[in-house]
């Protein structure tokens, strides 16, 4: 039964590649066959829903502005990859946990809340799907496809798809900065960033060896300015210590991308500079239409960040004016803004090429 499902999926997938002039949801031709997504709660859309995990968002008011309600997205509505999918001409990409058959025709989202580059990241939330396991899940899908259709057809198909990876924040928030982890006593900030870069490079190389060629890599934003961190001090200002801690990670990620581009034939990368995006947004919030920059729309305590959004808690009403939805995650309005910037922005926010340019290659 499982083999028939996967055969049906990739027969449809390959037909889509051949007949690429067909419309997607009546919006015109898609610029790529599919998008495969890996990461954490910033882009998870339901993979933790059925896990014995404390990292879930499948309850109201999450999804209050999303047509499907509370799907498992850690947002009031769209995530960044939802926006990017639509701009690529694709439908919203289904979660790995819920997708089957024709639903997977345009890609799969493997992201999991609390996941990290390191396998032990996020263990305080009990169950999550680390990046290594996400890659394994993709590999399992690929094995089914290859057995059914043959390696050459699959390789050509996969090489034309977008592989979006946004991960690393939990390796800091739910590992390095957690008092019940001994990571901080083992590594200084630079050493930890080097460890992450080494693992990250190996993981992206695994995806390359599985056929990925077009990569979109999201850097880390100003995590010292999220409500959860703001709530840890009385002055309510961004934590320079946390923001400085992640600088080496972003620096290493850019260097890693340059190295992979030089050593993996045929690979192409777009790096989303979320740090610069957030810096610009906080400095020019009102010009973007935001008036609340330092507290969550849904949460409890100082900066509405001491306890994140609880089931059936009433959120703020003017959500489009808030940068942060809960203690950790941006609102739909920010996700849409950043998704559009990543898709067709200039080199200040995405480089060496934006996603639109990557898709056209």
The per-residue pLDDT for range 304-318, each reduced to its tens digit, is 999 999 999 999 999
Q: Is the pLDDT of residue 236 over 50?
A: yes
The DSSP secondary-structure symbol of 317 reads S
d(CA 97, CA 49): 8
pLDDT tens, position by position, 11-54: 555 554 444 334 444 456 899 999 999 999 999 999 999 999 99
Q: One of 65, 171, 273, 326 is an active-site residue; which one?
A: 326
Where does residue 266 rank: exposed (0-12), middle (13-18), buried (19+ CB within 10 A)?
exposed
Q: One of 275, 280, 329, 360 is an active-site residue; which one?
A: 329
Number of C-beta neighbours around residue 155 at 10 A: 14
Q: Where are the beta strands (DSSP E) in 195-253?
A: 214-218
Q: What is the DSSP code string of 2-59? A: HHHHHHHHHHHHHHHHHTTTSBSTTS-B-SSS-EEEEESTTT-BSTTTTSSBS----S
Pairing of strands 268-272, 350-351: antiparallel
Q: Give the pLDDT of residue 155.
A: 83
Confidence category of residue 133, pLDDT binned at 50, 70, 90: very high
Distances (CA, A) of 14 to 24, 142, 158, 163, 332: 15, 14, 10, 18, 33
**Which residues fall within 8 angstroms of residue 103, CB to CB, at 6 or more apart?**
94
Q: Is the pLDDT of residue 152 over 90?
A: no
Q: Residues 175-201: what's their mean pLDDT?
A: 98
Q: Residues 106-134: what's their mean pLDDT?
A: 97
Q: Give the pLDDT of residue 13.
A: 54
Confidence category of residue 156, pLDDT binned at 50, 70, 90: confident
Decide if 325 contacts 331 (C-beta within 8 A): yes
Structure-block tokens of residue 51:
């896990």
Comparing 27 with 112, which gets the higher pLDDT? 112
Decide if 145 contacts 198 (C-beta within 8 A): no
Q: Is the pLDDT of residue 149 over 70?
A: no
Q: Which of 155-164, 208-217, 246-255, 275-284 has the lowest mean pLDDT?
A: 155-164
Confidence category of residue 99, pLDDT binned at 50, 70, 90: confident
Structure-block tokens of residue 292:
């609340």
Structure-block tokens of residue 360:
């056209």
Q: Answer yes or no: 82 catalytic.
A: no
Q: Is the pLDDT of residue 210 over 80?
A: yes
Rg (CA), the chain: 20
Q: Which of 51-55, 78-82, 105-109 has the lowest mean pLDDT?
A: 105-109
Confidence category of residue 346, pLDDT binned at 50, 70, 90: very high
Q: One of 41, 112, 201, 270 is an active-site residue; which one?
A: 41
d(CA 349, CA 274): 7
Q: What is the mean pLDDT of the chain?
A: 92
Q: Is the pLDDT of residue 231 over 80?
A: yes
Q: Answer yes or no: 194 catalytic.
A: no
pLDDT tens, position by position, 258-304: 999 999 999 999 999 999 999 999 999 999 999 999 999 999 999 99
Comparing 56 with 26, which gets the higher pLDDT? 56
Q: Answer whether the bond into residue 352 is a cis peptide, omega within 30°.
A: yes
Q: Answer yes or no: 41 catalytic.
A: yes
């Amino acid at each position: 039964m499982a083999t028939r499902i996967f055969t049906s999926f990739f027969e449809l997938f390959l037909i889509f590649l051949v007949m690429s002039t067909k419309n997607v949801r009546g919006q015109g031709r898609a610029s790529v066959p599919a998008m495969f997504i890996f990461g954490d709660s910033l882009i998870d859309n339901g993979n933790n829903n059925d896990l014995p995990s404390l990292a879930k968002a499948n309850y109201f008011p999450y999804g209050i502005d999303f047509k499907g309600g509370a799907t498992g997205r850690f947002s009031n509505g769209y995530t960044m990859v939802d926006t990017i999918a639509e701009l690529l001409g694709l439908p919203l990409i289904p979660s790995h946990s819920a997708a089957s058959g024709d639903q997977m025709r345009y890609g799969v989202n493997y992201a999991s809340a609390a996941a990290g580059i390191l396998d032990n990241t996020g263990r305080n939330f009990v169950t999550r799907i680390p990046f290594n396991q996400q890659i394994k899940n993709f590999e399992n899908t690929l094995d089914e496809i290859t057995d059914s259709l043959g390696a050459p057809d699959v390789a050509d198909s996969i090489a034309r798809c977008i592989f979006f990876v946004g991960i690393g924040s939990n390796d800091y928030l739910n590992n390095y900065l957690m008092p019940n982890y001994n990571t901080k006593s083992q590594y200084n900030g630079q050493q930890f960033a080097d460890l992450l870069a080494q693992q990250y490079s190996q993981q992206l190389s695994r995806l390359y060896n599985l056929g990925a060629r077009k990569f979109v890599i999201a850097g880390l934003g100003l995590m010292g300015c999220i409500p959860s961190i703001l709530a840890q001090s009385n002055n309510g200002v961004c934590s320079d210590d946390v923001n400085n801690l992640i600088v080496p990670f972003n620096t290493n990620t850019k260097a890693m991308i340059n190295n992979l581009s030089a050593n993996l034939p045929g690979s192409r990368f777009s790096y989303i500079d979320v740090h610069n995006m957030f810096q610009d947004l906080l400095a020019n919030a009102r010009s973007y239409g935001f008036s609340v920059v330092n507290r969550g729309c849904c949460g409890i305590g100082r900066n509405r960040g001491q306890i994140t959004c609880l089931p059936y808690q009433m959120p703020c009403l003017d959500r489009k004016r808030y940068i942060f939805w809960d203690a950790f995650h941006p609102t739909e309005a920010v996700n849409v803004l950043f998704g559009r910037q990543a898709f067709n922005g200039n080199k200040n926010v995405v480089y060496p090429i934006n996603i639109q340019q990557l898709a056209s290659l």
